[in-house]
Amino acid sequence: MQSLSVRRIVIMAIGSMLLSGCASSPTGNIEAFGSAATEVSTSIDSVISDYNQAVINNRLVAMAQSKRPYVAADFDDIKQIIIRDANKQELSLYQANKALGDYAKALVALARAGSREEIAISTSSLSKALLMMDSQHQLLLQKDSALTKDGAARIARVIAQLSSGYIESKKAKALKAIIIAADPAVQKIGLVINNQLLKGVIESRLYTMRGSELAGYFADYNAKSSSRSFVQKKQKLDEIYLKYVQMEATSASVKQAQSALLAVMKSHHLLKSELEKDNYSGTGVIEALKKIKANHTAFDSLETLIKNCGTEIIASDEQGIICKP
Amino acid sequence: MSELLALNKAIRALDNLWPLLQGDEQEAILQQRNRLNQQADELAHKSLTAVDAELQAAIDQLIQATENANEIRAVIDWRVERIEKVAATVNSVVGVIEKLGQILARI
C-alpha cells in the first residue's frame, strides 16, 4: 500500500511538472485562427462565384437591351462563358485562395488532433479497472483495500494528463514549425489575392456591369416617361433607386473580403512572431484574432458599411460608395 | 490593369449616354458599349488566370505546409489510438483477472 502511495505521488509530481510546461496550450489560438481563416477563404470563394454569375448576367443584360429577336442558339455565347468559368482551377485567385483555405483547415485539424477529451475518455476507464483489480486483490488475499475510489480516479487522471501533455507538446512543436515556415507564403498569397481584388479586376468589373443593367432601367423609364403620371414615375424611380443602391454597395462584399484577408495575413504574421518566442497566447495574438472576426462580420451591406466605416464615406468612380482606405 | 480601368470608365460613360438616345443612334452606342464590355470581360479573365512564378512558388510552399500538417495530425491520431488501445487492453486484462479471481475464490 505504501509503495502504491509513493508511486502515486511520483506520478502526480511528474504530471504536474509536465502540465506546467504546457499551461498555455497553443491549440486554442491556432485553432481559432484556422477557423477564422477558413471562413475568410470561403467568403473570397463566394466573391469569385458572384463575379462569375455577374459575367453571365451582363450578357443577358446586353441581350435584353437590344432590339434584336433571339433564338436558343444566341445562348451559345453564354454557354462558352459557363464552360470557361466552370473551370475555376484556372483562376490564380481560386488557386491561391484554395491553398490558403486548405492550409487553414489543416491547422484547425492539427490543433484539434488528439484532444484532451478523447484521451480523458479512454483513460477514465482505467480508474474503473484499477478499482476492479483492487477488489480482486482484497478478495483473494483477504487484505484491506489498497486503493480508494478517489485514489483510482486520481491515478487515471494523471495518466490522462501525462498522455495529453505529451500530445500537446508534440502538436505545439509541429504547429510552431509549420506556421513559421508557411508565413512568407501566406503573406505572398494574401498580397496577390488582395491586390487582384484591390487592383479592381473583380470590384470594378462588378460595379461597371451593374451600371450597365441600371442603364437599361433608365432607358425603359425614359421611353415611357411622357405617358406616365407623377405617381407612376415616382414608383418606377423608387424601384430604380433600389437597384442603384445595390450597385453602389457592390464594393461592400469585396471590401469585406479584402479587410478580413488583410486581418488574416496580419494575425498569421503575429502568430509566427509570437511562436518564435514560444509565446502561444499573447494578447497581441488574441487581439488580432478578434480583428479577423470583426472584419469578417462587417460591411455586408451599404448600411453596415456606412455604420462601420472608421474613416470617411466617399464616392469612387471605380468602386461606388466606399469607406476611405 | 490601367487598360481595364480605362475600358470600365468608357463603358460607364456610354451607359450614361445611350438611355438618353433613341432609334439607330441608341443602337449604335449600345453596340459599341457591348464590344467594350466583351473586351473588358476578356481582359479581366486574362488577369484572373495569370499565375506568375513567384505566386506559384508560394502556392506550392503552402501546399507543402498543408501536407506536413496533415501528416503530423495523422501521426498524432495514431498515437492517441495507441493510448486508447492500451486503456482497452488494461480493461480487458482486468476483466480476465476478475474472472480468474472469482474462480480462485471458489476453490
pLDDT mean for each 10 residues of chain A (325 residues): 42 38 57 87 85 91 92 88 75 87 91 71 66 69 66 71 76 89 93 75 89 96 94 96 84 79 88 85 68 54 59 66 66
Higher pLDDT, B15 or A258: B15
**Residue A291: predicted pLDDT:** 65
B76 shares contact with chain A (CB less than 8 Å): yes
Place of cell 459557363: A82
Q: Which residues pair with A129 in a beta bridge?
A: none
Band of pLDDT at residue B33, cut at 50, 70 and 90? very high
Out of B34, B84, B95, closest to residue A62 by CB: B34
Q: What is the pLDDT of residue A12?
A: 40
pLDDT at position A123 is 65
| DSSP string across B83-107 | HHHHHHHHHHHHHHHHHHHHHHHH-
Decide: A201 and B44 in contact? Cβ < 8 Å.
yes
Dihedral of CA atoms A72, A73, A74, A76 in degrees, nearest 10, equals 110
Nearest-CA neighbor of A246 among A301, A305, A198, A297?
Answer: A301
Question: What pLDDT is stored for residue A304 in this prediction?
Answer: 59
pLDDT at A203: 85
- Determine contact: A62 vs chain B, CB below 8 A: yes
Question: What is the structure's pLDDT at B58?
Answer: 92
| Res A127: pLDDT | 66
The answer, for A199 touching chain B at a CB cutoff of 8 Å, is yes
A134 Cβ contact partners less than 8 Å away, ≥ 6 residues apart: A145, A146, A147, A152
CA distance A253 to A202: 11
> What's residue A2's pLDDT?
41
Q: Does B28 touch chain A (CB under 8 A)?
A: no
B44/A110 Cβ within 8 A: no
How many whole angstroms separate alpha carbon A260 and alpha carbon A277?
26
What cell numbers appear for A182 in the block?
508557411
Query: Buried (b) or exposed (e) across A148-182, using 16+ Cβ within 10 A?
Result: eeebbbbbbbbbbbbbbbbbbebbbebbbebbeeb
Best B42, B46, B61 residue to mutate vs chain A (most A CBs within 10 Å): B61
